[in-house]
Amino acid sequence: MAITAQLVKELREKTGAGMMDCKKALTETDGDMEKAIEYLREKGIAKAAKKADRVAAEGLTAIKIDGEHGALIEVNSETDFVAKNENFIQFTDAIASHVLAAKPADLDAALASTINGKSLAEFINENIAKIGENLTFRRFAILPNPENGVLGHYLHMGGRIGVLVSIAGTTDEELAKDIAMHIAATNPRYIARDEVPADVVEKEREILTQQALNEGKPAKIVEKMVEGRIHKFFEEVCLVDQAFVKDPDKSIAKLLKEHSDASVLKFARFEVGEGIEKKEENFAEEVMSQMKK
């Protein structure tokens, strides 16, 4: 039978599933509403949709590396309890392996790609039904392992922070790990000064100038003060300008120079839940919510 917009709308209202999922369910069941609902439930989509508005700001990062590339991903859950669950850890690991193999162009392409005979989006929905919380595959980064280079990687606090860094000019894995650990600790925004957008520098200069004037400094020395503080700003946000955390007397630039003039080509650093507005929930309530599931 013809799948009308009204049928799709009715199924959406009954299950909370997405329009395309509802249309597919109705097509697969020849327009039978009850069978379409069963189809969505079996796929975990109806149950997943009910959880979709719940904040998922916990979770894990994971890293997979082969001979040519490395993949860093972040997968989120609602609670730290689930993030430590073996099923969730295996689920995250499976997504990381899939992303490394598929190398999708973006998140939409990743969700549409096929894993174990189904789309990654369907795979996630099935695990929402299995694990019992809203789960989201938030982001990923794929970095090349450069010729005559090395990929550094580091997971901090069991995966709360994940770092992947591509380094050229050396195959020293210990150096690569040290730089990945440094990035995890300091959270640089750029590799070097020439990567910092001009408008970002100008905005920082305006703020620092106003701060100096508010401190009552004479206008004639404000400019010199600001330039000194801009230099400090670069040391805070640029990787190669930072003091190496394991040896603060040495900059990352100097560390790289000591290893055959190695250079950092690119890095990715994910911290679980950064930028996500978390709900306020105390520990006792979180435990109770888990016990009721």
Give the pLDDT confidence score for residue 288 in this predicted structure: 53
Is residue 176 within 8 Å of residue 151, measured between CB atoms? yes
CA–CA separation, 292 and 147 (whole Å) = 53
**64-85 residue pLDDT tens:** 999 899 999 999 999 999 999 9
Give the pLDDT confidence score for residue 45 in this predicted structure: 73
Give the residue extent of every domain in the chain.
Answer: 5-51, 58-144, 193-264
Q: Give the chain's count of helices (H) and strands (E).
A: 13, 10
CA–CA separation, 164 and 162 (whole Å) = 7
**125-137 residue pLDDT tens:** 889 888 888 899 9
CA–CA separation, 161 and 159 (whole Å) = 5
Half-sphere exposure for 288 (CA within 13 Å, toward CB): 5
Q: Which CATH number fits domain 58-144: 3.40.190.10, 3.30.160.250, 3.40.50.720, 3.30.479.20?
A: 3.30.479.20
Query: What are the residues whose beta carbons fall under 8 Å from the beta carbon of 56, sequence distance 6 or more?
Result: 76, 77, 78, 133, 134, 135, 136, 276
Give the pLDDT confidence score for residue 17 in this predicted structure: 75
CA–CA separation, 182 and 216 (whole Å) = 37
Element containing residue 58 per DSSP (H, E) = strand 58-65
What CATH number has the domain spanning 5-51? 1.10.8.10
Measuring CA to CA, which residue among 7, 51, 125, 117 is closest to residue 24? 7
**3-45 residue pLDDT tens:** 898 898 888 777 767 788 889 999 999 999 889 888 887 777 7
- Percent pLDDT > 70 in the chain is 90
CA–CA separation, 226 and 204 (whole Å) = 9
Give the pLDDT confidence score for residue 292 in this predicted structure: 53
The secondary structure of residue 191, as a DSSP letter, is S
**Average pLDDT over every residue of 101-108:** 96
3 state DSSP class of 29: coil
Fold annotation for 193-264: GTP Cyclohydrolase I; Chain A, domain 1 (1.10.286)
DSSP 101-125: HH--SSHHHHHHSEETTEEHHHHHH
CA–CA separation, 163 and 146 (whole Å) = 17
